[in-house]
Amino acid sequence: MKDYRKAKKLVDVTVGESVRILRELQEMSQNELSELTGIPQSTISAIENDRVNLGVERAKILARALKCHPAVIVFPGWDIRQESAA
């Protein structure tokens, strides 16, 4: 294992981009995500384009549908070793 080195962070990802990436990795359309969550497709588009704030409740709903923890969506660039949560 000591032959491996940590990958470097190449890009910053916005909340909307994290939603889009997770959705696309699961080969899901915005319409399919809308059907799973009850969130209108137009709102999902606005979230993915950072025109609408996500909010805690929407983050929970999207996280369930995308099978991830809400923090993955809400804090895409969080580095626990460098930033304190307090």
Domain ranges of the chain: 15-74
Q: How many CA atoms lie within 13 A of 32 on its CB side?
A: 9
pTM for the model stands at 0.77
Q: Please report the pLDDT score of residue 9 as a whole number.
A: 62
CATH code of domain 15-74: 1.10.260.40
Q: Is 62 exposed, middle or buried (0-12, 13-18, 19+ CB in 10 A)?
A: buried
The parts of the chain modelled with pLDDT lower than 70 are 1-2, 4, 6-10, 77-86
Q: Please report the pLDDT score of residue 28 as a whole number.
A: 96
Q: Please report the pLDDT score of residue 3 as a whole number.
A: 76
